[in-house]
A and B are shown apart, each in its own frame.
Chain A
Amino acid sequence: MKPVTLITGTMVPLDRADVDTDQIIPQQFLKRIERDGYGEFLFYNWAHTDDGQPSSDFIINHPARQGAKVLVAGPNFGCGSSREHAPWAIQQWGFEAVITPSAADIFRNNASFTGLLIVEMAADAVARLMDLATDPSAVVTIDLETQMVTAEGIEEHFGFDATAKERLLSGLDGIGVTLIHDDVIGSHEANRAPWLPTAVG
Chain B
Amino acid sequence: MSTPRTLFEKVWGNHVVVDADPALLYVDLHLVHEVTSPQAFAGLNASGRNVRRPDLTVATVDHGIPTTNRSLGIRDPLSKKQVDALVQNCKEHGITLFGLDDPRQGIVHVVGPEQGLTQPGLLVVCGDSHTSTHGAFGALAFGIGTTEVEHVLATQTIWQARPQTMAVEVEGSLPWGVAAKDLILGIIAKIGVSGGTRHVIEYRGQTISDLSMEQRMTICNMSIEGGARAGMIAPDETTIRYVEGRPFAPKGKQWDAAVEAWQGLATDPGAKFDRVETLNANDLVPHVSWGVNPAQTVPVTGHVPSPDSYADPQQRDAAVRALEYMALRPGTAIADIEIAHVFLGSCTNGRIEDLRAAAKVVEGRKVDSRVTAVVVPGSMQVKAQAEAEGLSEIFERAGFSWRDAGCSSCLAMNPDVIPAGERCASTSNRNYEGRQGRGARTHLVSPAMAAAAAISGHFVDVREWESSV
Contact = CB atoms under 8 A, between A and B. Distances in A.
12 contacts: A26-B438, A28-B413, A30-B35, A31-B79, A33-B42, A45-B434, A75-B314, A82-B129, A106-B224, A178-B157, A181-B18, A189-B26
A199 B58 contact: yes
Interface of B: 17-18, 22, 24, 26, 28-29, 35-36, 38-39, 42, 47, 49, 53-58, 63-64, 76, 78-79, 81-82, 85, 94-96, 116-117, 119, 122, 127-129, 142-148, 150-151, 154-157, 159, 161, 163, 193-194, 197-198, 224-225, 227, 229, 248-250, 254-255, 257-258, 261, 293, 314-315, 317-318, 321, 411-413, 420, 430, 432-435, 438-439
B26 A175 contact: no
Interface in A1-49: 15-18, 20, 22-23, 26-28, 30-35, 45
A84 B36 contact: yes
Contacts of B250: 195, 197
A27 B435 contact: yes
B96 A199 contact: yes
B157 A27 contact: no
B145 A113 contact: yes
A194 B257 contact: yes
A175 B51 CA distance: 12
Contacts of A81: 128-129, 411, 430
A110 interface: yes
A197 B155 contact: no
Contacts of A110: 145-148
A32 B430 contact: no
B145 A82 contact: yes
Given A76-B197, A110-B145, A22 B18 contact: no
A74 to B, nearest CB: 6
Interface in A154-193: 161, 163, 173-175, 178-179, 181, 184-185, 188-189, 192-193
A104 interface: yes
B393 to A, nearest CB: 33
B438 A178 contact: no
A156 B94 CA distance: 51
A35 B435 CA distance: 22
Contact of B161 (A161, A179, A199): A161
A200 B227 contact: no
A22 B435 contact: yes
A105 B229 CA distance: 7
Nearest to B293: A18
Question: Which of B96, B258, B413, B434 lies at the interface centre, i.e. has the most chain A CB atoms within 10 A of its CB?
Answer: B434
Contacts of A34: 39, 42
A11 B361 CA distance: 53
A28 B64 CA distance: 10
A79 B258 CA distance: 36
A109 B26 contact: no
Given A34-B39, A80-B430, A105-B229, A201 B150 contact: no
A92 interface: no
A22 B318 contact: no
A184 B24 CA distance: 10
A199 B18 contact: no
Interface string A43-84: 001000010000000000000000000000011100111111
Contact of A113 (B53, B147, B315, B420): B147
B71 to A, nearest CB: 22
Given A45-B433, A104-B227, A188-B17, 9 more contacts: A27-B413, A76-B193, A79-B227, A80-B430, A84-B127, A174-B159, A189-B156, A197-B122, A200-B94
Given A74-B314, A105-B229, A84 B145 contact: yes
A150 B265 CA distance: 48
A92 B236 CA distance: 48
A146 interface: no
Give the 7 A-B residue pairs with the shortest CB-CB distance, closest first. Answer: A110-B145, A31-B78, A84-B145, A33-B38, A113-B147, A76-B194, A82-B143
Given A106-B145, A185-B157, A194-B257, A18 B194 contact: yes
Given A80-B430, A163-B159, A200-B55, A20 B150 contact: no
A15 B315 CA distance: 11
A102 interface: yes
A141 interface: no
Most B CB contacts (10 A, CB to CB) among A82, A109, A113, A189 go to: A82
Nearest to B97: A199
A79 B157 CA distance: 24
A23 B161 contact: no
A35 B35 CA distance: 12
A110 B38 CA distance: 16
A45 B436 CA distance: 13
B24 A200 contact: no
Nearest to B39: A35
B154 A175 contact: yes
A197 B117 contact: yes
A82 B47 CA distance: 24
Contacts of A28: 412-413, 438
B258 A200 contact: no
Nearest to B410: A27
Contacts of B161: 161
B151 A175 contact: yes
Given A27-B412, A193-B261, A18 B36 contact: no
B17 A102 contact: no
Nearest to B434: A45
Given A104-B197, A109-B145, A197-B248, A20 B258 contact: no
Contacts of B411: 22, 27, 81
Contacts of B38: 33
Given A18-B318, A50-B420, A80 B55 contact: no
A45 B17 contact: no
B433 A84 contact: no
Contacts of B435: 22, 27
A181 to B, nearest CB: 5
A104 B198 CA distance: 8
